[in-house]
Amino acid sequence: MKEVAVKEAPKEASPWKEQINAYVNLLKPHVTVMLLGVTLASMEIAQVGFPPVGLVLATLFGGACAAGSANAINCYLDRDIDQIMSRTSRRSLPAGRVSPVRALIFGLVLAVVSFVSLTLFVNLLAALLALSGILFYVFVYTLWLKRTTTQNIVIGGAAGAVPPLVGWAAVTHSIGLPAILFFVIIFMWTPPHFWALSLLIKNDYARACIPMLPVIKGDKETKRQILIYSVVLLATTLLLFAARAMGFIYLVSALALGGVFVYLAIRVYRDETRRWARTLYWYSNCYLAFLFALMVIDRVIAGVLS
């Protein structure tokens, strides 16, 4: 007789694993990983090579806590609109997996841990910069700009541009011109990146009464602004070469990556559908990662040849 295979029921996650996953969700891991990536790239460029492992680990730990703190407190403050938007309705707070009070405490504890660890194991400047990013994201962007102006993403982008300053300060104990230009590049990258997303989830923002550009000014104006900022972003990336902070490898790479960015922005501007906005949003994530990776390659090769 043939034995009949009996399928086992899928095992349910244990309560403690569910709780861990719920708190990890508050950190917005995909955002945090990207911020840590540019932090590490900035450190390597400042060092012209790989910095001491202990310094790298301490900086990334403090940076992860800072980013996680800002994101967790943002989730606490935005819990009312997160439950309205389909994109965010499954986050830990609107889904009821973490209570609001615990989320807030979690965010505040992470902020303290970030500042203390960076001060003790990195330096005070890096700690203050990371703290400034938290405060700007929470008070300027989340509490003020996000619900009051179409320029929320433009000005609020400064918070996401702080990590390379932290990385540079961790290695050099100062803020150099290259680090400032890294900040400006991410600042200019943020509007076309998020406006491409806002075109895709415009109805979500409208339901939540968030004054994103396509909701208030319409798709055509949003697409025009995406194109303008994409051109400005390309020009901004070239300043690193003009300032002699980067070499020809970076120059060619920045022109190629930026050229594709502008091309996609043109397609978004001309397209009546959401197809190219989706493509630009996806590419913008890859763009930033590749750009900073090529900065590192350019400086490492320059260091070897010098």
Phi-psi region of 48 (alpha: psi -120 to 50; beta: other; left: phi over 0): left
Which amino acid makes up residue 156?
A: G
Structure tokens at 236: 């901004």
Instruction: Residue 146: give its domain's CATH number.
Output: 1.10.357.140
Q: Are residues 166 and 36 in the same domain?
A: yes
Q: Are residues 32 and 164 in the same domain?
A: yes
For 39-55, what is each residue's pLDDT tens digit? 999 999 999 989 999 99
* Domain final residue, candidates 174, 206, 228: 174
pTM, entire model: 0.92
Structure tokens at 167: 């990385």
Domain membership flag for residue 5: no
Angle of the 152-160 helix axis to the 177-200 helix axis, nearest 10 = 130
DSSP letter (8 states) at residue 144: I
For 116-136, what is each residue's pLDDT tens digit? 999 999 999 999 999 999 999
- Helix (H), strand (E) counts: the chain: 15, 0
Please tell me the distance from the alpha carbon of residue 142 to that of residue 152, in angstroms, as a whole number. 9
Structural domain of residue 275, as residue ranges?
Answer: 176-306
Q: Are residues 190 and 291 in the same domain?
A: yes
For 218-237, what is each residue's pLDDT tens digit? 999 999 999 999 999 999 99
Q: Are residues 282 and 151 in the same domain?
A: no
Please tell me the distance from the alpha carbon of residue 69 to that of residue 74, in angstroms, as a whole number. 8
Give the percent of the chain with pLDDT over 70.
Answer: 95
Domain total in the chain: 2
Torsion angle in degrees (nearest 10) through CA of 245, 247, 250, 251? 100
* Domain final residue, candidates 174, 190, 220: 174
CB contact at 8 A, 25 and 91: yes
Q: Are residues 168 and 257 in the same domain?
A: no
According to the model, what pLDDT value does residue 293 have? 96
For 234-268, what is each residue's pLDDT tens digit? 999 999 999 999 999 999 999 999 999 999 999 99
According to the model, what pLDDT value does residue 12 have? 52
Phi-psi region of 109 (alpha: psi -120 to 50; beta: other; left: phi over 0): alpha
